[in-house]
Amino acid sequence: MLDVRRLRLLRELSLRGTIAAVAEALAFTPSAVSQQLSALEREAGISLLERTGRRVVLTPAGQNLVHHAEAVLERLERAEAELSDARRGLAGSLRIGAFPTAGRAILPAALTSLAREHPGLEPMVLEIDPAGVAHALRAGDLDVALFHEYDFVPTPAEPGLATEPLFTEAMFLASTSPVPGEAVDGSLIGRFKDASWITATPGTLCHAMTVRAFQAAGFTPLIRHQVDEFATVLALVAAGQGVAVVPQLGVVDPQPEVVLTRLPIHRRTKIAFRSGAARHPAITATATALRAAVPEELALLR
């Protein structure tokens, strides 16, 4: 009989690429991961991994087993959801991941609703960049999460995860220079090719989106500052330190010096959870609370 916990390790290895990365993500030692994968190979009776020096790749049999593991793990999530539904009332911890602007604009109202409707639930919020959501959900560090994607940076389907749309935001170019109305099109960013720019830090989706926007406009920018907090970004723009691209949720009480010009780009926020968990009562209740908490101006863009 194949051990489900070992199947999960094999699935993570197929996604993360190295035993060290799997160990770090799941709080194991590399030697423990190697031992468990070797035990899985003995259970399977066939080689699942090919080791070349420090590198490990899955054999065709290993890759095939990963596909079966995905189905098994999804069925287990469904079983847990049905068992939870059979119990009376929702109780226990609920780990919610969110990026900062959604945490500020959406979560307080959603958590208030959950506390009122399901007092036995114990929500715990973890601030996380969308780039880390998939791994955190699969590792079991989160139960549900909010993540976003941009027009220039669509998010590919992630194995083992399911998503639901939540809301869409407009994107703005923040500067101290008024922009003629006829310039509000795909060429707008290119009009600031000689300006200093303020972007998010490398490795975030916000940074990737801005870089793609530069590429689409056909220039390499001078990046002066790298800041993730949009309030700070807008303060730097007001101080004449550069221009930036900011989402609708990031525009909070901008200084009078800041000119905001709408771009033909959108940011879409989705709810993510493990495949098979869509009918889990806690996930359903959380999704309902999140949808009810979306501000009206964002709901109009959905």
- Reading phi first (left if > 0) and then psi (alpha if -120 to 50, else beta), residue 89 is in left
Same domain, 163 and 277: yes
Q: What is the CATH number of the domain that holds 10?
A: 1.10.10.10
Q: Which stretch, 21-30, 32-41, 68-77, 144-153, has highest mean pLDDT?
A: 144-153
Q: Based on the number of CB atoms within 10 Å of its own CB, is 193 exposed (0-12), middle (13-18) or buried (19 or more)?
A: middle
Same domain, 244 and 177: yes
Same domain, 148 and 278: yes
Q: What is the CATH number of the domain that holds 157?
A: 3.40.190.10
Instruction: Round to whole Å and give the CA distance between 56 and 14.
Output: 10
Same domain, 100 and 155: yes
Lowest-pLDDT range, 40-54, 61-75, 83-97?
Answer: 83-97
Q: What is the pLDDT of residues 107-149, one digit of tens each?
A: 999 999 999 999 988 999 999 988 889 989 998 899 999 999 9
Q: Domain boundary residue among 84, 111, 146?
A: 84
Q: Domain boundary residue among 32, 61, 84?
A: 84
Instruction: Round to whole Å and give the CA distance between 197 and 137.
Output: 34
Confidence of residue 87 (pLDDT cuts 50, 70, 90): low
Query: What does 153-188 look like in DSSP terms, one character per residue?
Result: SPPPPPTTEEEEEEEEEEEEEEESS---GGG-STTT
Checking DSSP bridges between strand 161-175 and strand 144-150, what pairing results, if any? unpaired
Q: What is the pLDDT of residue 184?
A: 47
Same domain, 38 and 150: no
The residue that leads in pLDDT, 302 or 219, is 219
Same domain, 190 and 212: yes
Q: Which two tokens stand for residue 253?
A: 């009480």
Same domain, 179 and 257: yes
Domain count, the chain: 3
Q: Which stretch, 5-14, 150-159, 169-178, has highest mean pLDDT?
A: 169-178
**Overall average pLDDT of the 7-26 stretch:** 82
pLDDT at residue 166 above 70? yes
Same domain, 70 and 147: no
Same domain, 239 and 250: yes
Same domain, 79 and 105: no
pLDDT at residue 182 above 50? no
Same domain, 272 and 151: yes
Same domain, 163 and 176: no
Query: What does 203-229 look like in DSSP terms, one character per residue?
Result: TSHHHHHHHHHHHHHT---EEEEE---
**Overall average pLDDT of the 203-222 stretch:** 88
Q: Domain boundary residue among 60, 84, 108?
A: 84
> Residue 80's domain spans which residues?
4-84
Instruction: Round to whole Å and give the CA distance between 293 and 161.
Output: 23
